[in-house]
Structure 1
Amino acid sequence: MSDPNVTDFTDPSSFILLGIPGLEVAYAWLSIPFCTMYIISLLGNFSILYIVKTEPSLHVPMYYFLCMLAVTDLVLCTSILPKTLSIFWFNSREIDFTACLTQMFFLHCFSIMESGILVAMALDRYVAICDPLRHSTILTNAVVVKTGLAIALRSSMLVLPCPILARQLRYCRTTIILHSYCQNIAVVSLACSDIRISNYYALFVIFFITVLDLVFITLSYTQILRAVFSLPTKDARLKTFGTCGSHLCAILAFYIPALFSFLAYRFGSNVPQHFHILLSNIYLLAPPVLNPIIYGVRTRQIQDRLFRLFIHKGT
C-alpha cells in the first residue's frame, strides 16, 4: 500500500507541520507558555510604539530604532506563533506550499533585520557617547530613515533566494515537516533533488550576517567602553554605561539563544529532536518578549511615560 504522505516526483500543494515530535501529549501545557509569551510580546511592543509616538521627548534616533525593533519583533513572533498554537489547540497541521515559503521568508528576513537594527543601535550609542556634540548632526531623521531602509533591503535581498531555491526543488519523498514552522533547512531536506546550493547559500547568509554584525557591534562597544573608562568620575562612568545597559541586554537576548540553537542543530547529534525544535522557537520568541521588558525596566524615559500614563488613567 502506498504512503499517502509520499508524492510521485511532483511539487506538493501543501506540507504537514508535525509541531514538536515527541511532546504531543504535552501540547495543551506547552500552549500556555507559548500563548503567554505571544500576549506579552504583543502588549509590550505595541506599548513601546505607543509611548514613543505620544511622547515628543522620545522622538530621537535611539527610540526610532527601538520602534523599528518593536515592529520587527511583532512580525517575527506573528509569523510563527498563530500557526504553532493552531497545531497545539486544533491539530491544524496542514500549511499551503506557498504559505510555507512565505512564512520561511518572513521569519528569516526579520531575524536578519533584527540583527541589523541592533547594529544600528550600537552605532547610535557609539556616536552619542564618543562624539556627543555631533550626534544630532550625524544621525538626522533622514539618516535614520535611510538606515532603516538599508537594513530592510539587505535582509530582503539576502533571504529572498532561500524560498526561490526551495521552490525550484522537486519534492518526492514526504510532505511531513518535522518542525513547528517552515524553517529553511527543515523544508529543503524533504527534497529529492540536489540541495547543496540551497544549504551552502543558507550557511553563507548565517555566517556572513553573524560575523559582520557582531564585528560592528564589538567595535562600537570597544570604543564606547574606552570612552566610558576615560571619564573622570565613577558616577559619570556608571551613568554613561547605564545608558547602554538596555541595548547590551537586548543584544544578549538575541544572539545567545541564536547561538545555542545553531550549535545544537549543527553539532548536537545526540540532542533529542524536540529539544532542537524548542530551541528554535525560543530563538525567535525570546527577543520579542524580552526587548520591551528590558527597555521598559532599564530606560528611565519609558518608565516615566508609563508611570504618567497609568496615573492619568487612574485619575
Structure 2
Amino acid sequence: MPQYPNRQFLDFEQPIKTLYEEIDKLKQTAEKSKIDMSEGIKKLEAAIEDKRKEITSHLTPWQRVQLSRHPDRPYTLKYIDKMIDSFLELHGDRNIKDDKAMVGGFGQLDGETVMFIGQQKGINTKLRQLRNFGMANPEGYRKALRLMRLAEKFNKPIVTLIDTPGAFPGLEAEERGQGEAIARNIYEMMRLKVPVICVIIGEGASGGALGIGVGDKILMMENAWYTVISPENCSAILWRSWEKKEVAAEQLKLTAKDMHGFGLVDEIVPEPAGGAHWDYDQAAAILKAHIKKALQEIKQVAPEKRMEDRIEKFSKMGFWDER
C-alpha cells in the first residue's frame, strides 16, 4: 500500500496529512537530537486512526464519489491478487481483440475454483490509457460473456468486480455494437445456472456496470457509488454546468446506504477506517469474507431455482408513482 509522502490526499483528508507532517517533524527531530520520540509518534499514529474514522463517519454523497475515485484505491487486479491464489488471466473475445479494460480468469478462492471478472483502471498515466480508464468496449463485454459461459461449462461460480465510469462512448464502440453487447450480457447473466456474485468496488455507472452486474447477490462496498449517470454529467444536463455536481450526487441517491434501502443491493461491505485505500490487505480480507459467505448461501439453492429467483429479483426492481 502506498505510504505518505507518496500518498495523495483529498480535500477532506487534509487533517490526516497534517498529522503525518507532524510525525515527519518528530522523526527528523529524533534523528538530529538522538532523543526518543516514539511515544509522541505513537500518539499521532493513534490520532490518525481516529481522524480516519471521524472523517468517514459523516461523508456527503459527493465525498463518497471522490473516495470511490481515489488514486490510491485498490482496483480489480489488486483485490484478485490479495484474495485468490493461482490466478490465470484469460484474454480476448474471439472476435475483435482483447479489451484491457475488462479482465477475467480462473483463480483459487481458499481452494475453490472461481471465475473472477472485472473492470480494471490503470494505476498510472500510461496504464490508465492502456486500460481506457476502466471503460470497456463491446469486445470487453463479449470477453466477459465468453468467460461466464466457460465458467458455466465447468460448473464454477462467477464473481464480478464492478468499477467503471461507464462503458466507452466512442464512435467505434457504437459501430461495433456497444448497446447490444451490454444488453446481451444482461440477458445471458439472468440465465446462468452457476452462482453469480456481483460486487461494486468503486464506480458503478450506467450500462457499463450493468453489463457485468446481474447476479444472485449484489454486494456494494461502503464508499462505492451506483447509478445511471455520474454526478458531473447529471449536473451538466440539468444545469449546463458541472458546478452543481454535489447537488446532483445528493439527489441521485447513489451511495451504498441508498442502494441498500432501495433493495438494489443485498449487502454493504464495510471498508477499513478512512476507506479501502488505507489498507489493501484489510479491505481484501473483508471483501473475501463477504464473497465466501454469499457463495455458501447461494450454493444451497438448486440451479433452476437460482435462475428463477434471479429473474424475479431483477424484474421486481424499481417503483413508480402514477398521478
The normalised TM-score by structure 2 is: 0.27
Give 1 or 2: higher helix fraction: 1
The normalised TM-score by structure 1 is: 0.28
Give 1 or 2: higher strand fraction: 2
